[in-house]
Amino acid sequence: MTIHFSRRKALAAAGGAMAIAAAPRHALAQSLPTGTIRVLVGFPAGGGTDVMARIIVEKLKEKTGLNIIVDNRPGNSGNLACEMLKNGPTDGSLLMYGTSATTVAQKVTRKQLNYDIDKDLMTLGLTGTVSVAYVVSSTIGVKTFAEYLDWLKKNPKRQNFGTTAMGSMTHFFGVLMGREIGIPLEPIAYKGAGPLIADLSAGHAAAGCGGVSDFLTHHRADKMRIIAISAPKRVAAAPDLPTIAELGYPKLAYEGFYGFYAPARTNPAVAALWHKELRAVVDSPDTKQRLLGVGLEVLTSTPAEMTTRQTNLIAYMTSVMKAAGVEPE
């Protein structure tokens, strides 16, 4: 069957196409909430998680024209943000930029939480992977892993390390490393990377453990020194950093992840739109380069792929926790 268009209809259709092409950029996101959109971060401003979230949000605002803000809700190793997300609005106006140091680690180490990451949090997609970094304060005059081991033997009263999140790999990595080197290392809890970085810079803390992204900028500025990372192989963001495996401790190799979450009851259509927007932003060359600069190995995914990675990491961390002799609290 042949369909004939009148000249008037053809002109109208062409005009409509031109109108769509010329539409303001916010019209492209008209199915997303038009009010203020909050992206929860479970750690204080200034830490690696916060910095990455702001890089992504900045580009997301530019792309969509929407009013998107980072909402820092530090507390309880990131659990406060997870609880807020669980109970938040389901219209797409509340998201969370999360790390496995919070979501996975808390499920493994806590007997009871006020949320369930499988039932209450919806995965929207990965932004990348990150390894744990062990860092020393520049005030102790140590620049390498070997030098740190010598320093520990000479300073038995300072055989401890600050961790950005108790019950996460930034806790277990330090404890297990102490067992491997034969010098027990005592973890000291901090409410995120910001306070730990302040203590490391001032010399109040001799060493610390967190994500590579937490310390990389300060390492490059010689304010502190990353002496080992947990990644299975050297990372593109900082190829000069030695891995714990090449230092002789391959059993300590580990890689965590970052990604976006929404409340589990979020409208599926809106969640799909967020996944599309977020993935496009993270995969954009300029954003990818900026994220790489703060230590994130950029890797995007579907929500299902992120869920699978999360499930696999839960199983792995359960075995690591047992090896560390830590029981769920």
Domain boundaries, the chain: 33-128+258-322, 132-252
Question: In this structure, are residues 59 and 287 in contact, taking their beta carbons and an 8 Å threshold?
Answer: yes
**Are the C-beta atoms of residues 35 and 67 closer than 8 Å to each other?**
yes
What does each C-alpha distance from 87 to 18, 109, 112, 295 come to in angstroms? 42, 22, 17, 31
Please state the pTM of the whole predicted model.
0.76
Whether residue 71 contacts residue 98, with contact meaning beta carbons closer than 8 Å, is answered with no
The pLDDT profile of the chain, 329 residues, written as one tens digit per residue, is: 333 334 443 444 444 443 333 334 443 444 899 899 999 999 889 888 999 999 999 999 999 999 999 999 998 878 899 999 999 999 999 999 999 988 998 898 888 899 999 999 999 999 999 899 999 999 999 999 999 999 999 999 999 999 988 878 888 899 999 999 999 999 999 988 889 999 999 999 999 999 888 899 999 999 999 999 999 899 888 899 999 999 999 989 989 999 999 999 999 999 999 999 999 999 999 999 999 988 899 999 999 999 999 999 999 889 888 877 778 87
CATH superfamily of 132-252: Periplasmic binding protein-like II (3.40.190.10)
* Ordered strands of the 186-189 beta sheet: 186-189, 160-163, 207-211, 132-137, 224-229
pLDDT at 329: 79
Using CA atoms, how far apart are residues 291 and 61, in angstroms rounded to an integer? 17
Residue 258: closest CA among 94, 159, 88, 124: 124
Q: Is 209 helix (H, G, I), strand (E, B) or coil?
A: strand
31-69 burial, b for 16+ CB within 10 Å, e for fewer? ebbeeebbbbbbbbebbbbbbbbbbbbebbeebbebebe
Q: What residue spans of 47-134 are helical by DSSP H?
A: 48-64, 79-86, 103-109
Q: For residues 269 and 275, what is the distance between their CA atoms, to the nearest angstrom?
A: 10
**Alpha-carbon torsion, ordered 55, 57, 62, 65, to 10 deg:** -170
What separation, in Å, do the N-terminal and C-terminal C-alpha atoms of the chain show? 71
CATH class of 33-128+258-322: alpha beta
- CA 172 to chain CA mean position, Å: 17
Closest CA to 313 of 153, 120, 168, 160: 168
